Structure 1
Amino acid sequence: MENSELPKRVRDFRIKKGLSQEELANKTGLSLRTIQRIENGESIPRGDTLKKIAIALQVSPEEIIDWQIQEDDNIITLLNLSQLGFIFFPWIGIIVPMIIWINQKDKIKNVDSIGKVILNYQISWNILLFGMLIALFIISPLIIIIWYLYNFILIIINTRRYIKKKQVNYKPTFKILQ
């Protein structure tokens, strides 16, 4: 662990929780000056101090010490394949990838950007599906089957593209998440 990284992690976790330094000091029972010293890199929290900060920030001490973005192609592959939940119910193709994205976006490299692309696509796909279901009385039900097949094939193609280290490309997509 580099000492220069720990102060940044404490500050990032504090900001992510929406706490001021004073609020963190109150939650931990530590002095404001101690929190300031830790965030300025003048002091490295150990033992009980680290534990108090971790509890207040709702993270483990290991996350503060070892926090780093890792590469995990298995998570990205799982994120891509999780869209297949749409087969059982269209919204599952959004919910499962969203859960993975929310839980892993700050921990695994590329999950944030690929997750946004996937969620934008699945939300767009669901909006268009809903529009097609409304038009079902006018258009043949075959169009719905073709639309499901298109989504299935696009998920498989883009999963394979990611595994081969190529750019994923989901179309059509509305830019909902930036």
Structure 2
Amino acid sequence: MLQKNFKEHRLAKHLSQKELADRSGISLRTVQRVEKNESSGSPYVIRTLCETLGIETNSLSQSSDHEGAKAFQEVIGSVPPDRYLKYINVSSLSVLLFPFLNVVVVTGTYLIFRKKFVFPNDRATAQKMLSLQIIWSVATLFILIFTPLIDYCFLHVGEVLEIPLFIWIYLVLLFSHLLITMLAAARLNMGKDPIPYIPNII
């Protein structure tokens, strides 16, 4: 049964019910009820316990109890996958419509979907995505402000260009943003951290 499967994983980790409850943040009573088959557990409970035990949710569905496995799949199926992270990632492309619009749109998208993240890691990843937009926008703003000054004092490239140098610089930065977004989307599809190199400043 699903509940016995949970217990087997807990015992394999040499954890008591109280230790599992403390580590997961799920109440001891809820852990006990799940293992005693008194409760099938909410989507949040199931996924949080799986994360705490370090197991994949589909490993619990490999139960000899067909009805228990089916019930489990229904519970997990009601939880959206990481598509909310993908929404946040795609929303950053709003910078292509208007400079720095990405910060506003990504912030709004994060605020809309933040309660959908049942895994702490997912919420941290969403915050890193927002952090990326803030860092990129601030860095871009400083670069665009100081580019004309540096060019005037040292480079003098703008004197021979029909299009101002800072516009070329912005286009390069915009391309880098697009590249980062595409790489993040690819890593999300592979189930990896989309931006492991970005600090969380939220």
Name the TM-score class by shorter chain. 0.5 to 0.7
Deviation of 1:91 after TM superposition, in Å, equals 2.7
Establish whether residue 169 from structure 1 lines up as the match of residue 195 from structure 2.
yes
Deviation of 1:111 after TM superposition, in Å, equals 4.6
- 1:88 is aligned, of 67, 84, 97, to 97
Rounded to whole Å, the distance in 1 between the matches of 2:86 and 2:170 is 26
Deviation of 1:155 after TM superposition, in Å, equals 0.3
What is the aligned partner in structure 1 of residue 139 from structure 2?
A: 128
**In the TM superposition, what whole-angstrom CA distance separates every residue of 1:87-133 from its partner, at most 9, and x where no partner exists?**
11233211222112112212234552222111111000010111011
> How many percent of aligned residue pairs carry the same amino acid?
18
Rounded to whole Å, the distance in 2 between the matches of 1:170 and 1:123 is 16
Matches within 5 A, 1:54-69: 68=44
Matches within 5 A, 1:34-49: none
What is the aligned partner in structure 1 of residue 24 from structure 2?
A: none
Show structure 2 runs of 5+ residues with no match: 1-41, 48-78, 152-164
CA 105–150 in structure 1, closer or farther in 2 if over 3 Å, else same: same
- 2:111 is aligned, of 89, 102, 108, to 102
Length-normalised TM-score, structure 1: 0.54
Larger Rg: 2
Length-normalised TM-score, structure 2: 0.49
Rounded to whole Å, the distance in 1 between the matches of 2:192 and 2:201 is 23
Rounded to whole Å, the distance in 2 between the matches of 1:161 and 1:174 is 17
What is the aligned partner in structure 2 of residue 71 from structure 1?
A: 80
Q: Is the 1:101–1:111 Cα contact (8 Å) retained in structure 2? A: no
Show structure 1 runs of 5+ residues with no match: 1-65
Rounded to whole Å, the distance in 1 between the matches of 2:199 and 2:138 is 10
CA 165–174 in structure 1, closer or farther in 2 if over 3 Å, else same: closer
Rounded to whole Å, the distance in 1 between the matches of 2:93 and 2:183 is 12
